[in-house]
Homo-oligomer: A and B are copies of this chain.
Amino acid sequence: MAKDITPRDSDYARWYTDVVTRSTLADYSPVKGCMVIRPHGTALWENIQRGLDGMFKATGHENAYFPIFIPKSFLAREAEHVEGFAKECAIVTHTRLKAVEVDGRRTVVPDPESRLEEELIVRPTSETIIYSMFAKWIQSYRDLPILLNQWANVVRWEMRTRLFLRTTEFLWQEGHTAHATHEEAIEEARRMLEVYRTFAEEWLAIPVLTGTKTESEKFAGALTTYCIEALMQDGRALQAGTSHDLGQNFARAFDVKYQSAAGDWQHVWNTSWGVSTRLIGAVVMCHGDDDGLVLPPRVAPVQAVIVPIWRNESQREAVLAQGRALCERLVARGIATRLDERDNVNPGFKFADWELKGVPLRLELGPRDVEARQVVAASRLDRSKTKLGWDGLEEAVAAKLDEIQAGLFERARQRREQATRDVETWDEFLEAIEEGGFVRARFVPDPEVEAEIQQETRATVRLVPLDGADDPGPCIRTGRKASGRVVFARAY
Contact = CB atoms under 8 A, between A and B. Distances in A.
**Cβ-closest 8 pairs across A and B:** A34-B67, A39-B62, A37-B65, A86-B97, A91-B94, A95-B157, A31-B67, A42-B63
A465 to B, nearest CB: 36
Interface stretch (A9-17, A71-79, A368-376): A71-79
16 contacts: A27-B137, A29-B133, A30-B74, A37-B64, A39-B148, A43-B63, A68-B122, A68-B153, A68-B169, A82-B97, A86-B97, A86-B99, A89-B96, A90-B92, A91-B92, A93-B110
A275 interface: no
A27 B133 contact: yes
A97 B74 CA distance: 13
A92 B95 contact: no
Nearest to A90: B92
Contacts of A41: 65
A31 B96 contact: no
Contacts of A46: 63
Nearest to A83: B99
B68 A155 contact: yes
A64 B39 contact: yes
A68 B86 CA distance: 20
Contacts of A142: 344
B169 A76 contact: no
Tell me the number of copies of this protein: 2
A410 interface: no
A133 B71 CA distance: 32
Contacts of A132: 30
A336 interface: no
A91 to B, nearest CB: 4
A43 B93 CA distance: 33
A34 B126 CA distance: 14
Contact of A27 (B38, B90, B136): B136
Contact of A42 (B38, B42, B64): B64
Interface residues of A, number: 65
Contacts of A202: none
Contact of A71 (B30, B66, B71, B75): B30
A88 interface: yes
A470 to B, nearest CB: 42
A141 interface: no
Interface in A162-197: 169, 171
A344 B69 CA distance: 38
A98 interface: yes
Contact of A108 (B69, B72, B96, B120): B72
A490 to B, nearest CB: 27
Contacts of A71: 30-31
A97 to B, nearest CB: 4
Given A82-B108, A108-B86, A62 B43 contact: yes
